């Protein structure tokens, strides 16, 4: 996924956030349609339904935290990947990861610190004893799993199709997309997925995701396939000109799009990992996770 610039993210999401009180929060994999955001309302288009993903098992029973009294947990996150983590206009860490980290600490009733780091220094903070945990949108890999322990998942970004409203197929099946021009980033996991499962689609490849999206808007392609978060903010923003909507999906094949992200910890810190998993489950059950999710992702991506 290409991150939104902080100023662009704040501008795009400002109107959408005011609709949060009206959005229907789902406790499972279904939700009522949400009212249209201001940008799409102006274009006469309805917001897609907002579904809150659930990553915890409601039937699981995780033991309560058993952390040493007085322990302070040091969190590290990234500084330039809105809406997940970034530096706001006041120079403070902000974003989904920041709010979730604070909620975990509040649930556990422990003292925490949080610092945003450059991407090239972030993963070294635990080894250098500059942080106890990392919460950032770092895709798990065999190398990452050999280096860190990881909590339960906190986020997963699916892949989605968007299509021009005047040429949108009723469904996004391999048969329906046969012969249709689909814009996608060259060399990406999304391109590989299309080649494997939509072999008869006519792929139009681009170096950048914004160019692929523009191709659909401008009629050079009928659909685009990519990161659902980036596509959702584009659909709700001004640069799409209300051209398009989601079609089909979501797609979450871990071989192409990853298993989702969790909190990274030093291997062997089981008490802290268990405490974080306990807090995440409690936040899910109480609806606090849903509130944080809707604050930063007010546009449906599932």
E strands along the chain, which residues?
72-78, 80-81, 85-87, 93-94, 111-117, 133-134, 149-155, 159-164, 181-185, 202-206, 223-227, 244-251, 261-265
CATH of domain 157-256: 3.40.190.10
Average pLDDT over the chain reads 86
- At 226 the pLDDT is 98
Q: What percent of the chain has pLDDT over 70?
A: 84
Cite the residue boundaries of each domain of the chain with CATH code 3.40.190.10.
1-36+63-156+259-302, 157-256
How much is the pLDDT for 17?
Answer: 36
pLDDT of residue 49: 64
pLDDT for res 298: 86
pLDDT category at 54 given cuts 50, 70, 90 is confident
* Span between the terminal Cα atoms of the chain, in Å: 16
pLDDT at residue 37, rounded to an integer = 36
Matching residue, tokens 């170096």: 207
Question: Which tens digits make up the pLDDT trace of 2-31?
Answer: 444 444 444 444 333 333 333 333 333 333
Both tokens assigned to 16: 């959408």
Residue 147: which pLDDT band, with cuts at 50, 70 and 90? very high
What integer pLDDT is reported at residue 212 of this predicted model? 98
In CATH, the number for domain 1-36+63-156+259-302 is 3.40.190.10
Phi-psi region of 113 (alpha: psi -120 to 50; beta: other; left: phi over 0): beta
């Amino acid at each position: 996924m290409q991150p939104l610039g902080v100023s662009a993210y704040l501008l795009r999401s400002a109107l959408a956030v005011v609709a949060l009180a009206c959005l229907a929060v789902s406790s499972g994999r279904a939700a009522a349609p949400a009212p249209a955001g201001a940008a799409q309302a102006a274009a006469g288009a309805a917001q897609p339904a907002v579904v809150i993903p659930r990553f915890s098992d409601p039937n699981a029973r995780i033991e309560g935290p058993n952390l040493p009294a007085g322990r302070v947990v040091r969190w590290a996150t990234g500084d330039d990947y809105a809406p997940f983590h970034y530096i706001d206009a006041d120079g403070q860490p902000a974003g989904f990861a920041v709010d979730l980290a604070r909620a975990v600490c509040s649930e556990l009733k422990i003292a925490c610190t949080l610092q945003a780091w450059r991407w090239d220094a972030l993963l070294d903070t635990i080894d250098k004893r500059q942080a106890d945990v990392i919460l950032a949108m770092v895709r798990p890999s065999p190398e990452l799993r050999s280096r860190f322990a990881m909590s339960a998942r906190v986020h997963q970004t699916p892949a989605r199709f968007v299509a021009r409203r005047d040429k949108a197929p009723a469904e996004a099946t391999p048969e329906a997309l046969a012969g249709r021009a689909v814009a996608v980033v060259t060399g990406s996991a999304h391109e590989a997925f299309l080649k494997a499962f939509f072999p008869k689609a006519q792929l139009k490849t681009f170096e950048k995701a914004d160019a692929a999206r523009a191709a659909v808007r401008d009629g050079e392609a009928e659909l685009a396939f990519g990161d659902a978060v980036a596509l959702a903010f584009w659909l709700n923003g001004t640069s799409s000109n209300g051209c398009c909507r989601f079609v089909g999906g979501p797609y979450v094949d871990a071989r192409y799009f990853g298993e989702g992200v969790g909190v990274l910890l030093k291997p062997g810190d089981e008490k802290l990992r268990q405490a974080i998993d306990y807090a995440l489950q409690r936040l899910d059950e109480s609806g606090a996770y849903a509130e944080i999710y809707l604050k930063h992702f007010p546009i449906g991506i599932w």
